[in-house]
Amino acid sequence: MTADLQVRLYDRFGKLTAAVVALLLAATLPASAQTPTAARGGLPRMWDGKPDLNGVWQALTTANVDLQDHSARLGVPAGQGVVEGNEIPYQAWALTKRQENFKNRATADPEEKCFLLGVPRTMYAPFPFQIIHSPGYIAVFSEYAHTTRSIFMNSEHPPGPIEWFMGDSRGRWEDDTLVVDVKYFTDQTWLDRAGNFHSEDLHVVERYTMTTPDHIQYEATLEDPKVFTRPWKISLMLYRRKEQNVRVLEYECYAYAEQEAARRGELGPK
Amino acid sequence: MRVRLSLVLTVVVALGVGATVIAQEGGGPRKTPIAGCPPVSRDFWPCAKAKAAAFRPARNPDGTPNMNGAWNPATANGSQNIEDFPGDAFLNPQITLIVDPSDGKVPYLPQWANKRQDNWDHYIDPLGTCYLTGVPRQVFAPRGIQIIQTPNMFAFVGEFAHQYRTIPTDTSPHIGDSIRLFMGDARGHWEGNTLVVDTTNLTDRTWLTISGHFHSDALRVTERFTLVDADTILYETTLTDPKVYRQPWTMAMPLVRFEKGHEVWEEPCFESDHDLPYLLREHKLWIGLTPPK
């Protein structure tokens, strides 16, 4: 509330008033709300005192290939899983479906069709993403197929049901952790290239905790009463891309695929 | 070129949002004033500039004018056209958005004089295949943009096909000339209360309108964003492209703040696209003004 109030005061009355009110408020607030912009806890902070998540980030795991422990196979490096306990608690029918998906993964994976990857997969896909962090609204821009996520802060999900590839994200801060509640998904996305999947009833709760200026501990709890027997959790690290010239570029995969086909004369009027 | 808006609008209507924009996309030129200025670009431009010079905008904590929020290109008709157009069976009437040159027409070089008509007759608008809008079209594409400001970044989320664009407001150099991007490489800086954006590294794979206005990969775009009042931005954009245009030319238009609480939502365009086979019966995919060999 303090931050919101400061924004409004800023908008309306300018810097001096906001500063005076901030000073007055400081006398009555706990220490955690008192030091905007200072590097409390060694973290970069927004002027409202929250950890500053702005920047280009990327996961460095094999989770996009397979969320679970897996040996190497052709074209796939071995990897340690990111699932807590390494078990995804599928219902019996869903486990059969998952095995079918695995067999058909070369063509059935939505990533092969250049579709949006959904949540949480976008966060550990092998592409950099940019977080644009303002107090009321956080955006995530991935290099993969111009994926855009809007995280609306301190607000309610709209009335559903709605089916979105990226779901509807509503964020709030719990101390220094950004907690994002995501629902209203389609059943069109997978969780990895190994055929792990969910239904449109997926509900994800993500937790972003900045542990150093260059690391975000990322956790996501997934529940889906149609597919899983209980909620389960993944946990992985997001790393800040530190290259001086780093920039999220473009991977417009369906445009390239269609244009290649057009050049070969396979698309368009004869 | 046939328009995909039907699919898109169905989605939006189903979601119960965007009614305001649809009304404006579907109708003729807007007649009511915007920010106390006539809505027609050639009159809006000088009027809005004069008002902006006297306006003291709300500011972000870093001192820059606060443009955060969702904005509607209210006079742009979903980028159907940018020149004067009487309207026909496919496209709505339009009053030119071009303020320079004064005839309100795109100043194509003589050898390109018939190319726009050729595009309309034979090619699919790249938006029709859900490709990125390019620059400056994102700003006046259907259903508006969300602006997000951070101390070193000015960013857009466009609702059409979940497109984003980032504009670092720093002095870093542009990326290497051989890297080409649908949305280009932008750098912004503040001149008083105006954000000035310089965009390079563009491709020839994007258009400016459904009607087929085009550019080459030599395009360079300068944009200016200035608050006229709390709920209106004067948007000016100058396009320079010596391969295609006789001279640089400029559009000016208002961006009007959406009603409070408006959220820019996901529109999964390609993911829910089933009409490409139909479009391809009579029209070709646009793979650039000078298609790669």
pLDDT per residue, tens digit, chain B (293 aa), is: 334 333 333 333 333 333 333 334 445 688 899 999 999 999 999 999 999 999 999 999 999 999 999 999 999 999 999 999 999 999 999 999 999 999 999 999 999 999 999 999 999 999 999 999 999 999 999 889 999 999 899 999 998 888 999 999 998 999 999 999 999 999 999 999 999 999 999 999 999 999 999 999 999 999 999 999 999 999 999 999 999 999 999 999 999 999 998 999 988 888 887 788 888 889 999 989 986 66
Taking every pair of Cα atoms in chain A, the longest distance, rounded to a whole number of angstroms, is: 76
Q: How far apart are CA A106 and CA B83, in angstroms?
A: 47
Return the pLDDT at A122: 98
- The alpha carbon of residue B109 and the mean position of all alpha carbons in its chain are separated, in whole angstroms, by 22
Task: List Cβ neighbours of A102 (8 Å cut-off, separation of 6 or more).
Answer: A194, A195
Q: Which of A6, A11, A158 sits opposite B66 (nearest CB)?
A: A11
CA distance A123 to chain B (A): 17
Q: Which residues 177-196 of chain A have a CB within 8 Å of chain B?
A: 188
For A145, list phi and psi in degrees, rounded to 5: 50, 45
- Do the Cβ atoms of B196 and B189 come closer than 8 Å? yes
**Residue contact A164–B266, C-beta within 8 A:** yes
* The model's pTM: 0.88
Return the pLDDT at A1: 38
Contacts of A263 in chain B (CB under 8 A): 287, 291-292
E strand intervals along A3-147 = 55-59, 129-134, 137-142
Return the pLDDT at B6: 34
Return the pLDDT at B276: 85
- Do the Cβ atoms of B210 and B129 come closer than 8 Å? no
DSSP H or E stretch at residue A6: helix A2-13
ipTM of this predicted complex? 0.88
Q: Which of B68, B157, B270 sits opposite A254 (nearest CB)?
A: B270
How big is chain B, counted in residues?
293
Mean pLDDT of chain A: 88
If pLDDT is split at 50, 70 and 90, which confidence band does A31 have?
A: very low
Return the pLDDT at A39: 58
Tokens of B245: 């245009």
CA distance A203 to chain B (A): 17
Report the SS3 class of residue B196: strand
Task: Give the best residue of B1, B148, B180, B281 to mutate against chain A (max A CB count within 10 A).
Answer: B148
Res. A258: pLDDT tops 90:
no
Q: How far apart are CA A80 and CA B44, in angstroms?
A: 61
Contacts of A139 in chain B (CB under 8 A): 146, 148, 155, 157, 164
**Residue contact B292–A263, C-beta within 8 A:** yes
Each residue's pLDDT tens digit, A218-247: 999 999 999 999 999 999 999 999 999 999
Tell me chain A's radius of gyration from C-alpha atoms. 21
Return the pLDDT at B81: 96
CA distance B50 to chain A (A): 22
Task: List Cβ neighbours of A209 (8 Å cut-off, separation of 6 or more).
Answer: A176, A177, A178, A216, A217, A219
- Do the Cβ atoms of B132 and B288 come closer than 8 Å? no
Phi-psi region of B67 (alpha: psi -120 to 50; beta: other; left: phi over 0): alpha
**Residue contact A165–B181, C-beta within 8 A:** no
Tokens of A199: 């239904």
- Mean per-residue pLDDT, A104-131: 96
**Residue contact A14–B59, C-beta within 8 A:** yes
- Mean per-residue pLDDT, A183-205: 97
For B186, list phi and psi in degrees, rounded to 5: -110, 145
**Residue contact A269–B282, C-beta within 8 A:** yes
Q: Which of B148, B268, B281 sits opposite A116 (nearest CB)?
A: B268
Return the pLDDT at A36: 45
User: Does B267 or A53 have the greater pLDDT score?
Assistant: A53
Return the pLDDT at B9: 34
Return the pLDDT at B277: 85
User: Does A235 or A2 have the greater pLDDT score?
Assistant: A235
User: Does A121 or B3 have the greater pLDDT score?
Assistant: A121
Count CB atoms within 10 A of the CB of residue A85. 9
Return the pLDDT at B293: 60
A17 touching chain B per CB within 8 A: no
Contacts of A162 in chain B (CB under 8 A): 15
Contacts of B153 in chain A (CB under 8 A): 54, 132
CA distance A204 to chain B (A): 17
Query: Residue written as tokens 């095995």?
Result: A99
* Residue B223: strand pairing partners: B197, B237
If pLDDT is split at 50, 70 and 90, which confidence band does A266 have?
A: confident
Kindly give the residue spans of alpha helices, DSSP state H, lying in B16-125: 19-26, 41-54, 115-122
Return the pLDDT at B220: 98
A265 touching chain B per CB within 8 A: no
Return the pLDDT at B63: 95
How big is chain A, counted in residues?
270
Each residue's pLDDT tens digit, A159-192: 989 999 999 999 999 999 999 999 999 999 999 9
Q: Which residues 139-158 of chain A have a CB within 8 Å of chain B?
A: 139, 141, 145-148, 150, 152, 158
CA distance A268 to chain B (A): 5
Report the SS3 class of residue B51: helix
Q: How far apart are CA B118 and CA B139, in angstroms?
A: 25
Q: What count of Cα atoms within 13 Å lies in the side-chain half-sphere of residue B271? A: 25
A133 touching chain B per CB within 8 A: yes
Q: With 0-12 CB in 10 A as exposed, 13-18 as middle and 19+ as buried, what is A40? A: middle
Contacts of B179 in chain A (CB under 8 A): 249
> Which of the 8 DSSP states describes residue A111?
G
Angle between helix B5-15 and helix B19-26 axes, rounded to 10 deg = 150
Kindly give the residue spans of alpha helices, DSSP state H, lying in chain B: 5-15, 19-26, 41-54, 115-122, 137-140, 276-282
Return the pLDDT at B136: 97
Query: Residue written as tokens 């559903």?
Result: A160
Bridge pairing between strands A148-153 and A168-174: parallel
Helix (H), strand (E), coil (C) string for B63-94: CCECCCEEEECCCCHHHCCCCCECCCCCCCCE
- Mean per-residue pLDDT, A144-167: 95
- The alpha carbon of residue B292 and the mean position of all alpha carbons in its chain are separated, in whole angstroms, by 26
Q: Which chain B residue shows the shortest CA-CA distance from A152? A: B263
Return the pLDDT at A270: 52
A115 touching chain B per CB within 8 A: yes
The answer, yes or no, to whether the previous bond of B242 is cis (omega within 30 of 0) is no
Task: Give the best residue of A140, A163, A252 to mutate against chain B (max B CB count within 10 A).
Answer: A252
Res. A88: pLDDT tops 90:
yes
